[in-house]
Copies of this chain bind each other. A is one copy, B any other.
């Protein structure tokens, strides 16, 4: 089957990510989607730069309307941003019968009602996973994964710039202005950071989640929006003393009299997972009456994390286009005729790191012998902890953390250690995963 054809409107940071990931992972994506997904045409004002990103094989034009008018294009990806021309183009794409994928939270939070109505009427999809919390599939979780629940509230760290600034303020005890300048220097904050630091970006996202959670129209104009510009370092310190962290939260909640929709700095108990989300990361907590608390964590911005969400939407649409209902999502994600025969490795072939505890005689040279066995086999040691023997004790514990090594090799070394006369009990071996 011919690959589904995607037209890209705007190929900046996110657009490049979409192009690169689609190309790099094209084989796996096709095995999942049941059909290839291809960027067929790109519109960007800077055609030279755009052409250099996509190479000579893809047609680049200046006028987005050419992409929309192209009958070969099945899906239009809008990555221009803003409320103005993006709205016109999106409505034009819908009118032309194209499905639309967008990362434009501002547009949907303000003009969503008009756009969704147009799409519904025309029988096309407007998909927007990338509009909220970047690569975290939170829209899918809310719209599909948690449909059993009466949602009680949602609270999220949904702006990476402000979370980075707050993390730095706390870590270094600095005031807002100082850290903002640093964030701008590092590229974590834009030259004009207003939308981020005043909470507007987070409010756009909270508005969208609020609509999905409670079945109300998007109504950004009713959101309460307060940023982090007035936060003082001393309040972060006092909060810490009281067991809290300060985070910019987007909150929407079902209250007795109506729906709460608000963005503002909030003290959060330090022991909550979400209080420990640091730097530019995002996390959304959803409270449902059946499921209880769930938390969804990941990168909320950046080229490829956002592209991950855009492409997930492209796969969704491709699957709907291409398969009948019963075969839309393959049971094991990949199409049944596209399964891999790659082998599951025997445990000896697994490479990981290890914690070893040896009960050893408390005498000179033991450590040297044990670590010598490691060195001989090329097992590199990360850390050693030797417990001091108690008064009158003749034995002690020797703890070793290794770097990565083949399990088969590790087992051989453990066998040799066990044979040492100074090792007095069976060696305890627990694997160690850095998960980084």
| A interface residues (Cβ-Cβ under 8 A, vs B) | 17, 21-22, 24-25, 28-29, 31-33, 99, 112, 116-117, 119-120, 123-126, 129, 135-137, 140-150, 155, 210-219, 222-224, 231-232, 234-235, 238-239, 241-242, 244, 246, 249, 251, 255, 257-262, 264-269, 272-274, 276-277, 285, 288-299, 304-305, 307-312, 315-316, 320-321, 324-334, 336, 338-345, 347, 349-351, 355, 357, 383, 385, 397, 399, 401, 428, 430-436
Contacts and interface: CB of A to CB of B under 8 A. Distances in A.
A308 B326 contact: no
B345 A260 contact: yes
Contacts of A295: 295-298
A312 B144 contact: yes
A150 B25 contact: yes
19 contacts: A21-B289, A22-B148, A99-B326, A120-B327, A142-B333, A144-B329, A147-B333, A149-B308, A214-B340, A215-B338, A235-B355, A242-B385, A255-B351, A257-B349, A266-B430, A266-B433, A273-B277, A285-B435, A294-B296
Contact of A291 (B140, B305, B315): B305
A215 B340 contact: yes
A259 B355 CA distance: 23
A435 to B, nearest CB: 6
Given A146-B137, A214-B342, A341-B216, A299 B307 contact: no
Contacts of A28: 150, 215
A246 B433 CA distance: 10
A404 to B, nearest CB: 11
Contact of A141 (B145, B231, B325): B145
Given A135-B291, A242-B385, A294-B299, 18 more contacts: A17-B290, A25-B289, A120-B336, A123-B326, A126-B331, A143-B333, A144-B316, A216-B340, A216-B344, A218-B332, A255-B350, A265-B431, A273-B273, A291-B299, A291-B305, A296-B296, A296-B297, A321-B325
Contact of A339 (B129, B150, B216, B222): B216
B308 A299 contact: no
A399 B345 contact: no
Contacts of A232: 428
A214 B342 CA distance: 9
Contacts of A144: 137, 140, 144, 312, 315-316, 329
A24 B288 CA distance: 13
Contact of A257 (B274, B345, B431): B345
A238 B385 contact: yes
A76 B91 CA distance: 42
Contacts of A357: 234-235, 238
A291 B269 contact: no
A150 B269 CA distance: 36
B119 A31 contact: no
Contacts of A292: 135, 298-299, 304-305
A285 B273 CA distance: 14
A212 B332 contact: yes
Q: By CB atoms of chain B within 10 A, which of A291, A341, A432 has the most?
A: A291
Of the listed residues A273, A299, A397, the one surrounded by the most CB atoms of chain B closer than 10 A to its CB is A273
Nearest to A259: B344
A103 to B, nearest CB: 13
A162 B308 CA distance: 33
A252 to B, nearest CB: 9
Nearest to A238: B399
A385 B241 contact: yes
A431 B431 CA distance: 43
Contacts of A435: 155, 268-269, 272, 274, 285
Contacts of A276: 273, 276
Nearest to A318: B147
